[in-house]
Structure 1
Amino acid sequence: MTATAYPLRYRSAEARGTRIGRPLRLLGRVRGVDEALLERIGRAFHEQDEPAAALAAALRLPRGSEGSVTHAQLRAALAEVGPLWRDRSRPVPTSPQPTDLGDRPAALKRFLREVAAVPGWADWDLVDQGAAVLRRLGQNAADVLLQLSLVGGYRFGGPTDLLAATGALTGGTLQRLARTQEWTVALSEPGALRPGGPAWQATVQVRVTHALVGASFSATGAWDTARWGLPVNQADQAATLGLFDGTVILGCRALGVPVPPSDSRALMHLWKWVGHLLGVHPDFLVDDEWARHRINYHVLLAQAGVSDAGPRLARAVVAAQAGRAYPGPAWWQPWRAQWEQERLLSMLTVFLGVRSMRDLGLPLRPPWAHAYLLPLNTWRYRVAGRLPGGRERLDRWGRRRSDAILASHHPHDVSDAQVTGAT
């Protein structure tokens, strides 16, 4: 393997990654550094989701040209996948997929077969159990996804620079956060991830969007491939998946939420299926949390340091809390917005640490939010949640919190009465 097989970012800040990854190495039971795994991650910086990339290329062709695909054709084809798949489903699916794809462009057919196929490892009962776990985590999952997964990911150059270049978070932060929240809430609904289901549709659309972004930057030459690797690459996709599954598990435990092995297994299986739909390479798809922590630790070692984009994106997320719609009368909104920003900074200080907060240009705050969340979650999950009907109450609470968070990200679409109470 030659040095040119890796982008310049590869292991360019390994000492920093080792420092940031110390808690993960301890809590994730990671034993030592696996050079073969690091090498695999390094190669993945120059690998992409080929079926989605081919579809993106076809979508960018002039309409009516040979091999071109329109967005209308894509939407119509995805709408047909559900009935086609259900006609061929089995009690325990091995690999059912639609075969009657009609007279469609080759790139679209290939993509449809890819997203409609169900691997033999897929277990729908376990996927639904994972969705239920995600619902019960409620506010805690939302906090970890925003703070440790999203803002924590801004500590590394590459994906942050791509986000900043698209203007997705600096020009419309609240809308982008709302779309992510909508997607994660959709994933938590039972049965929604089966081929043709609403969460399946949304996830496949995310995959197409990623491919179109990658194709756009590759075509214009505006992306420094030698430095960062491909705009949307398999290493970064694996890193993103790890921020949604293993990181959420560890983060929720840090907030005092018990995540037993059965819940961990179910949640990991849910995200394994989501990762498959997103086009993540099978080498990085796991449904064992300890395998994910091991991958995540090595991903940290492979990363670059913080870039100029990281602080800008992080500050945009903090500032966006002022644009949300909170419960109560209009005069109360600025005070609640300030409280939410302070709460966010308090939790970020604990999750990311002092040096990372300084790297992102964020002010430090005392850990008061963790101080109230730890006993609250101990009561909610370890006491009340274990009483008769406790799981059902946690499920209802999780739904209410998810709906409230989502509603708060659409301040012009909801009234005060539609936004539910505090944490």
Structure 2
Amino acid sequence: MIPRATACNTAVLPAAQATTPQAVVVAVPGTTARTPTQTTTATEMSPSGSVPGDYPARFRSAPERSRRIARPLRRVARVKTDDEELLHEIGRRLRTRDELGAQLAGAMRIRDRDDPERVTFAQLRQALNHGIGAVDDPPPALARFFAVVDAVPEWVDFDQVERGARIMREMGRSVDDVMLQLALIGGYRFGGPPDLLVATGGLVGATAMRRLGETQKWALSVLEPNGMRRTGAGFVATVHVRVMHALVNHEFETNGRWDVDRWGLPINQTDASATLGLFNSTLLLGIRALGWIVTADQSRAVMHLWKYVGWLMGVDEDWLFDTEQEQNRHNYHLVLVQAEPTSAGPALARALVEGQLTRDRGRLTALRNRYERARLLSMLRYFLGAQGLRDLGLPSAVPWAVPPIVAANLVRSGLLVRAAAGRRYLERASGRFARRNQRAMFGAATPEVGALPS
């Protein structure tokens, strides 16, 4: 029996089976300039000509299935009555975007080299790495963007941010397990974001493991000591990803390849908030399901870290939460509106499962790759259930890998974290795993997060 450290406990999980869909970390150019704000305007017409309240077809298109999958979150979040006003907002924001990012993306896609509004990738890199002051005569869109992201909100407590990152580093490989199995692959059970990933070519075939590695590289940078300070790797990578998302959104809003009336905007505020929910409260639910004891103070620190990350990513501020309870309630309502999976979800899931066989793990690579594939399927069975595996077209498995992980995590989180030496040991072990994992993904190449064009 895992001790009850907070209101959310593994007793209500594998039923951690309710996860929300995710946006993408990909690099595709794109554009039109719009008025920049940190939050999205409420009265904007969508590219399809519809008005707010005219929901995309995906909205609540599979109510019985969604309610079944959301049932565990309903218990965890102690939701007694569905919030119809929140559901309306979720539907509306399927058609709203990160306006500040969209305005910058528009300026970056101006073709006229003499246009004073044009922003180059070189200027963006300079501002990202050295500050807007390092850019000679910065274009207005670039200056406005960095005026927002460089201004730390009053509510940010960097001591809490650092504590949240350290706590996640101590959790080691279990963080990667939850993020890959419960969050990423679990999110492929719903239509929408997976279809965009397939459209960008980002997670199929030979690119599957590289894109996964890029996402993991970004998360590792967020968790570095001082990573979310202005010059930290996590800050730079997070703002970089925000711009890439804005470019992808513009590209697919305007190229005629994306069905806005069916799915909403390619990268919208609803899906962005769902992605954030995977990294905070879904991570905490999943980590408890793997035996890690999380105290209320630790939970608040992890939530605070990702609240700041979400703000930098351009998630609407009223959808940034301080507590698991609030986030889980929000996530529950997000699951209620989801669509059935399309062929994209199973294709992505299979690419990541079979991609385990392509990694270079050094000695005995073939044997270790087969073990890792079997381990992944075993843990997916635990997190997603038999029906979840069927939804994704994955082979059935037995969750044999989970009991030893739970036992080890109980020792780590119940004993080792109580002593400074134990915490240092856990951080070192986590770092070693991360380095091995990145080498298996990238080999001798330097991992990057969606490298900017020259």
- TM-score, with length taken from structure 1: 0.90
Q: Does 1:189 align with 2:224?
A: yes
Q: Does 1:323 align with 2:358?
A: yes
**Counterpart of 2:269 in structure 1: which amino acid?**
Q
Equivalence map 1:12-411=2 (5 Å)? 12-66=61-115, 67-81=117-131, 103-171=137-205, 172-327=207-362, 329=363, 332-387=364-419, 389-411=421-443
CA distance in structure 2 between the partners assigned to 1:387 and 1:400 by the alignment: 20
Q: Which shifted more, 377-386 or 71-80? A: 377-386
**Counterpart of 1:292 in structure 2: which amino acid?**
Q
**Counterpart of 2:429 in structure 1: which amino acid?**
W
Q: Matched residue of 1:392: which SS?
A: helix
- TM-score, with length taken from structure 2: 0.84
Contact persistence 1:347–1:367 (CA under 8 A): yes
**Counterpart of 1:382 in structure 2: which amino acid?**
G
**Counterpart of 1:138 in structure 2: which amino acid?**
G
By how many angstroms is 1:251 displaced? 0.1
* Number of aligned positions between the proteins: 395
CA distance in structure 1 between the partners assigned to 2:373 and 2:81 by the alignment: 38
CA distance in structure 2 between the partners assigned to 1:181 and 1:38 by the alignment: 31
Contact persistence 1:63–1:70 (CA under 8 A): no
Higher relative contact order (CA 8 A, sep 6+): 2
For the structure 1 residues 412 and 194, does the alpha-carbon distance in structure 2 shift closer, same or farther, using more than 3 Å as the test? Answer: closer
CA distance in structure 2 between the partners assigned to 1:26 and 1:255 by the alignment: 19
Q: Matched residue of 1:203: which SS?
A: helix
Higher helix share: 1
Contact persistence 1:155–1:306 (CA under 8 A): yes
CA distance in structure 2 between the partners assigned to 1:155 and 1:393 by the alignment: 37
What do residues 206-230 of structure 1 show as CA deviations (whole Å, max 9, x unaligned)? 0011111111111111110001000
What is the RMSD computed on CA atoms of the aligned residues? 1.8
What do residues 373-408 of structure 1 show as CA deviations (whole Å, max 9, x unaligned)? 111211222133335622222222222222222222
**Counterpart of 2:283 in structure 1: which amino acid?**
V
CA distance in structure 1 between the partners assigned to 2:180 and 2:428 by the alignment: 22
Q: Matched residue of 1:5: which SS?
A: coil
For the structure 1 residues 387 and 75, does the alpha-carbon distance in structure 2 shift closer, same or farther, using more than 3 Å as the test? Answer: closer
- Residue identity over aligned pairs, in percent, reads 47
CA distance in structure 2 between the partners assigned to 1:73 and 1:4 by the alignment: 38
Contact persistence 1:268–1:288 (CA under 8 A): yes
By how many angstroms is 1:102 displaced? 5.8
Contact persistence 1:101–1:109 (CA under 8 A): no
Contact persistence 2:53–2:92 (CA under 8 A): no
**Counterpart of 2:102 in structure 1: which amino acid?**
A
By how many angstroms is 1:76 displaced? 1.2
> 1:417: which partner in 2?
none
CA distance in structure 2 between the partners assigned to 1:104 and 1:56 by the alignment: 15
By how many angstroms is 1:196 displaced? 2.9
CA distance in structure 1 between the partners assigned to 2:354 and 2:424 by the alignment: 35
- Structure 2 gap ranges (5+): 1-42, 44-50, 447-454
CA distance in structure 2 between the partners assigned to 1:267 and 1:408 by the alignment: 28
Contact persistence 1:63–1:69 (CA under 8 A): no
Q: Which shifted more, 147-156 or 22-31? A: 22-31
What do residues 291-325 of structure 1 show as CA deviations (whole Å, max 9, x unaligned)? 01011110000111111100000000001111222
